Every structure is written in structure tokens, then in C-alpha cells.
A = this chain, B = another copy of it.
Amino acid sequence: MPYILDIDGVICRGSKPIVEGIKAVKLLIDRGEKFVFVSNNSTRSRRMLLERFRSFGLDVSEDKIVVATYATSIYLKKRYGKLKIFTTGEKGLIDELKLAGHEIVDYDDAECLVVASNRNLDYNLMTKALRCCMKADIYVATNPDKIFPGWDGPIPGTGMIIGALYWMTSRMPDAIVGKPSEIIMNEALSKLKCKNAVVVGDQIDVDVVAGKKIGCKTALVLTGVTTRDNLKKMIEKYGKPDYIADNLFQLVKNL
């Protein structure tokens, strides 16, 4: 059975590898099994993620990475063609948008606003995003994540900008590409060239919900956000995964 694997909380935590996650991916490669990575990361390109994987001793090809920066670029291209885009995002997103053939412009020339997290966000950028949101024909966001776990506490995600713009303009994105949206999941299935897979992640409300939406089996691993303590609450609220494992190696070994 092919796998759709989340990255953060499954393979690594930021730039630190999770040993069992890496071991599991190596096992999949040895077994010759099909897999792709699907991540809501909105600041890194596929190239940046491949570099990170290489630093973990993992050598995978670019077509195994479906990250929100790339998925958003491709989604826009397929649906609207090449666009003039203003984005709140960082270099990783800008690289992917350009690779897909889009043109990066200032807010007053844009046909499309792409909202994504930016660690250099400031008042000027929010002002441009506001004005673009009031005018642009198309408005999409890479991912809906409101808060991320930073090294010393919670940090704002792309959702903060979506919320700020909604509060000011009453406008929500026409599409949000990242999990639990079907947009990114269908892109993953099309990369796998199949209609079914096991969707693995560390968050029930994100990964498991996304997997169920596209009719796949789902698996939760406990190396990320979800712990034995908050597991029951999340299942009550969002539904039960088909499998629960301590880590990705445990899961892959037994499936």
C-alpha cells in the first residue's frame, strides 16, 4: 500500500530528525514501496526540504515532495494559468511560484493574492496584503494552520494572516491549499499515480481528517503534536484514525 507521509512531527521536528521516522523511510525504500511526503510548510520549497532530508541521510527525489508552497503554485497554474501574484510569503514560496511560471508583482499590480506565513512579516507587508485583498480577483492561502509549536513556545502560522485579513475585509480565501484540504491531498495521489494510500501524520484534525476526506486509510503517530494525554479528546472531536502507532517505524514494520 502506498504511503502519504507528513513531515514535521513524523520525520523530523524542525531541523532535528526523528530517528524512527528516518529508519522507516529507509525501510520503505528498501522494500520498494511507493510514498510521497505531504507537508503544510509554507516557507520552504521542495529543494529546501530535499536539502534538509539529505542532512538526515535521506536521499529522495523531488517528485516525492508535495509541500504547500509547491502545491499552491501548481494548483493556481492548473486552475487559472500563469498569474501575476503578490504574496506575503518567503523565498521558498516565491521560488516555487516562479518555477510554476507565475510572475511576482507588487500588491497594486496583482491578479492574485497568495497568503503564507512569513517570519519577516511587518506592518508594511500587512498593509500591502490588506490592499491586495480588497482588490485582487483571486485570493488563496497555502495552509490554514493558526499556531505552530516553536522551540520556546507557540508561534503564529499562516492562519494569523488569514484571520487578520478576514477581520479587516470580511474576505476569506477562495481556496486554502494545505491539509486538511483535498487540494493538496489530490495532488499527492496524482504524484503516486493511484487512488488509495495510507495517510500518516501526527495531527488528527489535520492529517487524519485530510486522509478521510479523500477516502484513504489513516494512521496517527505519536512523535509530534498528539500525545496519549490529548488523544482521546481529539478522537472525540475529529474521528478515529485506522491505526495508531508510537512512531512511523512501528507503523510501517507492522503494516
Is B160 a contact partner of A147 (Cβ separation < 8 A)? no
Task: Tell me the smallest distance from the CB of A150 to a CB of chain B, in Å.
Answer: 7
Q: Mark A116-133, 1 if CB is under 8 A from B, else 0.
A: 001111110011001100
Task: Tell me the smallest distance from the CB of A131 to a CB of chain B, in Å.
Answer: 5
- The answer, yes or no, to whether A153 is at the interface (CB within 8 Å) is yes
- The answer, yes or no, to whether A155 is at the interface (CB within 8 Å) is yes
Counting every copy of the chain, the complex holds: 2
Task: Tell me the smallest distance from the CB of A219 to a CB of chain B, in Å.
Answer: 28
Is A118 a contact partner of B127 (Cβ separation < 8 A)? no
- Least CB separation from A129: chain B residue: B156
Number of interface residues of A (CB under 8 A): 27
Is A167 a contact partner of B146 (Cβ separation < 8 A)? yes
Q: With the chains together, A166 CA to B120 CA distance in Å? A: 21
Given known A121-B122, A121-B123, A126-B156, contact A167–B168 (CB-CB < 8 A): no
Residue A168 contacts which of B119, B147, B150 (CB distance < 8 angstroms)?
A: B147
Q: With the chains together, A6 CA to B57 CA distance in Å? A: 64
Q: With the chains together, A164 CA to B165 CA distance in Å? A: 8
Given known A121-B122, A123-B119, contact A155–B130 (CB-CB < 8 A): yes
Inter-chain contacts of A65 with B (CB < 8 A): none
Is B123 a contact partner of A156 (Cβ separation < 8 A)? yes
Most buried by B among A155, A163, A167: A167
Is A162 a contact partner of B167 (Cβ separation < 8 A)? yes
Inter-chain contacts of A153 with B (CB < 8 A): 127, 131
Inter-chain contacts of A161 with B (CB < 8 A): 164
Residue A167 contacts which of B118, B150, B154, B167 (CB distance < 8 angstroms)?
A: B167
Residue A160 contacts which of B126, B134, B155 (CB distance < 8 angstroms)?
A: B126
- The answer, yes or no, to whether A159 is at the interface (CB within 8 Å) is yes
Task: Tell me the smallest distance from the CB of A142 to a CB of chain B, in Å.
Answer: 16
